[in-house]
A and B are shown apart, each in its own frame.
Chain A
Amino acid sequence: MDQLALSSLPSVGVVSPATRQRRRLLRIGKQALIVGCALGVVVWFAFSVRAGLARNGIAFDMGFLAQPAGFDISEGLVITADGLRHFMSSDSNAAALLTGFVNTIKVASLAIVLSTVLGTLVGAGRLSHNWLVRQIAFGFVEFVRNTPMLIQLVFWYFAVVLKLPGLSDATRWFGGIIASQQGVFVPGVVVAEGGSVTSAWVFICGTACFAAALAAPRARRWLLGSAMVCLAACVALGFPLRWSLPAVDGFNVNGGFGASPEFVALLLGLAVYTAAFIAEIVRGAIMALPKGQWEAAAALGMSRRSTFRDVVVPQVFRVVLPAFGNQYISLAKTTSLGIAIGYPDLFNVYGTVANQSGRSLEGVIVVMLAYLVLSWFISAIVNFFNRRMLAAGGAR
């Protein structure tokens, strides 16, 4: 604030309070005029659009959101009064858009985690002392960063995922994992049929005790003991969860957790693409550290690994987090490329809704708002962690 005030002061002479007041009013007037003009343009635009729509006999109407969708979505859940279930064609257009949004969030959140891990490894690899690792990391970044995401996505889908064997010929990896054209299926934990309700509650208590034990070191012994007691009670009452192996049944797979080929391809495409950018951010941040820090660590007798872990990484993560945030937001928006491979993300579902109901303008407004909220949410989370990290390090 002080600097601002100083720079706006005239360089010579003393300004009388009246002049200062006049200048202030003038400044406010100018700002108001600009804001007014901008608002005017927006209002004019809105009225023109309305007039244009009316001329073509199209009314602006959000009522389509409540109408039944009348089309199916290949994957995705919808929240109803009866809880979560698969989307059905009799659900509303709003439910369809929500299903698309959930699919967008699902693929974006997993891709963010994967790309961060992969990107950090590659970024560190680019500075490795090992020649081969360095060259591989360099090649990866250059290749991935300099080809269009859309082409990579089509490659992942048609040339990788859909080249997997069909369901009937698929190999079972490690006894349970199935990677096929119909999707990737892994064993999972499901709620056992016929398990007693008491047992389920006891299990939840046990899990809570265990989680509390991790969080509160002081009462750890006592809490762990309670968790063990709960576990024993669970086993006695009939365990509420069971291990579920995927099993091929006709066209489909029953049991376990499954991911569709479209999801897998989009996840891989997004994670790999963003990882290349994250790698460059990480590399830049590491290189920006003063050389003296490495030398000081070496002088203290720290190994390279320990230097990296205790000196470099804590500082690097403080620097890169805002830049990561940008990448995450960009990644979340890039999920809209899913349409190229038939993944039913928000934008894909919007396309169908707009096409079947004829409400493209209303739909695009809803969709833009949804992406806006998603981006804001991501930057809020990144900012939260950034503040926490700064506070913890005492950098302020």
Chain B
Amino acid sequence: MRHLRSTCRGFAALAVLAAAAQAHAAGSVLDTVKQRGVLNCGTDNAAPGFGYLNTKTGEMEGLDVDLCRSVAAAVLGDAKKVKFVVVTDKSRFNAVQTNQVDVVFAHTTVKPGRESAITVDFLPIYFYDGNGVMVKGTKISSVKQLNGATICTTQGSATEQTLAGYVKAQGWSASTKVLTYENLEKLFAAMESGRCNGMATDRSALASWKANAPKPADYTILPETLDKSPFAGFTVANDSRWRNALRWIIYASFQAEEIKVGSADVAQATKSSDPFVLKFLGTGASFGPDFGLPTDFVAKMVGQVGNYGEIYDRNLGPKTPNHIDRKGTLNAPWSEGGAIYSPPWI
């Protein structure tokens, strides 16, 4: 029924914007969230490792999901005070514009048009990915062999445009088709049935769909990366109070990993002799109040959800079926040569 929902959103946009003109004049989303006591967070539910509804446990899990929980823990003091709202690649931008959700973490690539024309504000990049193509069988070993093929992707994704540009740049025949589906679930079902010669999306998603396939060996991820796709969360535009708080919540997660404060030792760290660690965790002095956040927002967040490294390991680490190597990639902390980097706090 998603298509219906998205039509409704067109009207919801009208109605909400009309109402917003009157009622929602001032005030930040930050205040709304605190008043409501629950964070409405937009995620995917069909992207293993990022936003996925585990059918065995009935729980949402993934990197995106844990970032939602981190925000809830930081802002409201409880990682459980979050309502997950499922968004598709297509519906996610409207969802924040209409205040249906407060923030979206849904493996979203940062692109200029999304900040200028669609007008959302991006948060810091939390995962570095690239688009790739997966095929069935082992006959095809390079994207270049897909001239004339049917390549499938999701509607409204960054890959959709990347792929169109790639097909054009390669000068492929007119019989090359780009077929788009609403979500990854339908895309993979079509791929599995043999409708698509290739499935194009972010490499991390390809890896997890391959791993979760009935017979992973049936699928080959081609070596080429079509384009960069850095993931970031995003919020409604022009709300710098909310956006700044969120930016530094994400940075706090990175910073906690850097100074090696994890969920297990956060209680001990509050007794640290290092004045920075004390201020960071909100013992005595704190960074929180100036952002409109509780004094102990970092301690609560790291204590309940863990730092970025723990979140990564839980969802994409070697023990998970969605394992994506971290060491030596851009996703390693900057202290280990990666690009997961928090600006200095003092």
Interface size bucket, B side? 35 or more
Which of B187-195, B247-255, B291-299, B300-308 participates in binding chain A? B187-195
Which of A51-59, A269-277, A278-286, A318-326 participates in binding chain B? A51-59
**A352 CB contacts on chain B under 8 angstroms:** 90, 155-156, 160, 180
Most chain B CB inside 10 Å of its own CB: which residue of A52, A74, A181 = A52
**B161 CB contacts on chain A under 8 angstroms:** 70-71, 356
Knowing A51-B21, A337-B3, A342-B181, say if A56 contacts B97 (CB, 8 Å): yes
Closest partner residue, chain A, to B1 (CB atom): A150
Q: Is the CB of A88 within 8 A of B168?
A: yes
Contact digits for B167-189, partner A, Cβ 8 Å, 1 yes 0 no: 11000001101111110001001
Contact digits for A136-159, partner B, Cβ 8 Å, 1 yes 0 no: 000000000000001000000010
Q: Is the CB of A57 within 8 A of B20?
A: no
Give bound CA distance, A89 to B22, whole Å.
41
Q: Is the CB of B93 within 8 A of A355?
A: yes
Q: Is the CB of A75 within 8 A of B237?
A: no
Q: Is the CB of A89 within 8 A of B168?
A: yes
Give A51 Cβ to nearest chain B Cβ, in Å. Answer: 4
Most chain B CB inside 10 Å of its own CB: which residue of A48, A55, A72, A357 = A72
Give bound CA distance, A49 to B148, whole Å.
45
User: Is A35 in the interface zone, CB < 8 Å from B?
Assistant: no
**B178 CB contacts on chain A under 8 angstroms:** 71-74
Q: Is the interface of B mostly helix, strand, loop or mixed?
A: helix
User: Is B141 in the interface zone, CB < 8 Å from A?
Assistant: no
Q: Per a CB cutoff under 8 Å, which of B6, B148, B193 touches A181?
A: B193
Closest partner residue, chain A, to B22 (CB atom): A48
Give bound CA distance, A342 to B181, whole Å.
5
Q: Per a CB cutoff under 8 Å, which of A73, A261, A360 touches B13?
A: A360
User: Is A244 in the interface zone, CB < 8 Å from B?
Assistant: no
User: Is B236 in the interface zone, CB < 8 Å from A?
Assistant: yes
**A73 CB contacts on chain B under 8 angstroms:** 178
Closest partner residue, chain B, to A72 (CB atom): B178
Q: Is the CB of B13 within 8 A of A71?
A: no
User: Is A225 in the interface zone, CB < 8 Å from B?
Assistant: no
Q: Is the CB of B167 within 8 A of A89?
A: yes
Q: Is the CB of A56 within 8 A of B17?
A: yes
- Considering only residues 210-258 of chain B, those with a C-beta below 8 Å from chain A are 236-238
User: Is A351 in the interface zone, CB < 8 Å from B?
Assistant: yes
Knowing A49-B18, A342-B186, say if A336 contacts B3 (CB, 8 Å): yes
Most chain A CB inside 10 Å of its own CB: which residue of B146, B164, B189, B195 = B195
Give bound CA distance, A55 to B239, whole Å.
11
Give B188 Cβ to nearest chain A Cβ, in Å. Answer: 11
User: Is A45 in the interface zone, CB < 8 Å from B?
Assistant: yes
Give B74 Cβ to nearest chain A Cβ, in Å. Answer: 26
Q: Is the CB of B148 within 8 A of A361?
A: no
Which of B40-48, B60-68, B75-83, B113-121 participates in binding chain A? B113-121
Knowing A55-B20, A181-B194, A355-B90, say if A348 contacts B155 (CB, 8 Å): yes
Q: Is the CB of B119 within 8 A of A56?
A: yes
Give bound CA distance, A337 to B94, whole Å.
20
Contact digits for A60-88, partner B, Cβ 8 Å, 1 yes 0 no: 00001000001111110000000000101
Contact digits for B80-95, partner A, Cβ 8 Å, 1 yes 0 no: 0000000001100110
Closest partner residue, chain A, to B167 (CB atom): A72
Give B45 Cβ to nearest chain A Cβ, in Å. Answer: 17
Give A211 Cβ to nearest chain B Cβ, in Å. Answer: 33
Closest partner residue, chain A, to B111 (CB atom): A356
Q: Per a CB cutoff under 8 Å, which of A52, A162, A340, A348 touches B17?
A: A52
Give bound CA distance, A339 to B182, whole Å.
7
**B180 CB contacts on chain A under 8 angstroms:** 74, 342, 344, 348, 352
**B193 CB contacts on chain A under 8 angstroms:** 158, 162-163, 181
Give bound CA distance, A391 to B285, whole Å.
90
Knowing A55-B20, A74-B180, say if A182 contacts B148 (CB, 8 Å): no
**A293 CB contacts on chain B under 8 angstroms:** none
**A306 CB contacts on chain B under 8 angstroms:** none
Closest partner residue, chain A, to B163 (CB atom): A72
**A356 CB contacts on chain B under 8 angstroms:** 113, 156, 160-161
Give A91 Cβ to nearest chain B Cβ, in Å. Answer: 11
User: Is B10 in the interface zone, CB < 8 Å from A?
Assistant: yes
User: Is B149 in the interface zone, CB < 8 Å from A?
Assistant: yes
Give bound CA distance, A341 to B186, whole Å.
8
**B97 CB contacts on chain A under 8 angstroms:** 56
- Considering only residues 124-175 of chain B, those with a C-beta below 8 Å from chain A are 146, 148-150, 152, 155-156, 160-161, 163-165, 167-168, 174-175
Q: Per a CB cutoff under 8 Å, which of B7, B13, B160 touches A361?
A: B13
User: Is A166 in the interface zone, CB < 8 Å from B?
Assistant: yes
Q: Per a CB cutoff under 8 Å, which of B22, B113, B195, B197 touches A162?
A: B195
**B156 CB contacts on chain A under 8 angstroms:** 351-352, 355-356
Give A8 Cβ to nearest chain B Cβ, in Å. Answer: 39
Give A264 Cβ to nearest chain B Cβ, in Å. Answer: 12
Knowing A88-B168, A342-B181, A358-B119, say if A181 contacts B195 (CB, 8 Å): yes
**A32 CB contacts on chain B under 8 angstroms:** none
Q: Is the CB of A74 within 8 A of B177?
A: yes
Give B173 Cβ to nearest chain A Cβ, in Å. Answer: 8
Q: Per a CB cutoff under 8 Å, which of B17, B113, B149 touches A53?
A: B17
Knowing A72-B178, A252-B175, say if A347 contacts B148 (CB, 8 Å): no
**B182 CB contacts on chain A under 8 angstroms:** 339-340, 342
Give bound CA distance, A341 to B193, whole Å.
13
User: Is B14 in the interface zone, CB < 8 Å from A?
Assistant: yes
Closest partner residue, chain A, to B114 (CB atom): A358
Q: Is the CB of B18 within 8 A of A48?
A: yes
Closest partner residue, chain A, to B158 (CB atom): A356
**A45 CB contacts on chain B under 8 angstroms:** 14, 18
| 19 residue pairs A–B, Cβ–Cβ below 8 Å | A45-B14, A48-B21, A52-B18, A56-B17, A74-B150, A88-B168, A89-B168, A158-B189, A162-B190, A162-B193, A163-B193, A336-B3, A340-B182, A342-B190, A351-B156, A352-B90, A356-B161, A358-B114, A361-B13
Minimum-distance CB pairs A-B, first 8: A52-B17, A358-B118, A355-B156, A72-B178, A48-B18, A89-B164, A358-B117, A162-B193
Residues on B facing A (Cβ under 8 Å): 1, 3, 6-7, 9-10, 13-14, 16-22, 89-90, 93-94, 97, 113-114, 117-119, 146, 148-150, 152, 155-156, 160-161, 163-165, 167-168, 174-175, 177-182, 186, 189-190, 193-195, 197, 236-238
* 7 further A-B pairs in the complex, CB-CB below 8 A; given A56-B17, A355-B89: A45-B18, A52-B16, A86-B174, A251-B197, A342-B179, A344-B180, A351-B90
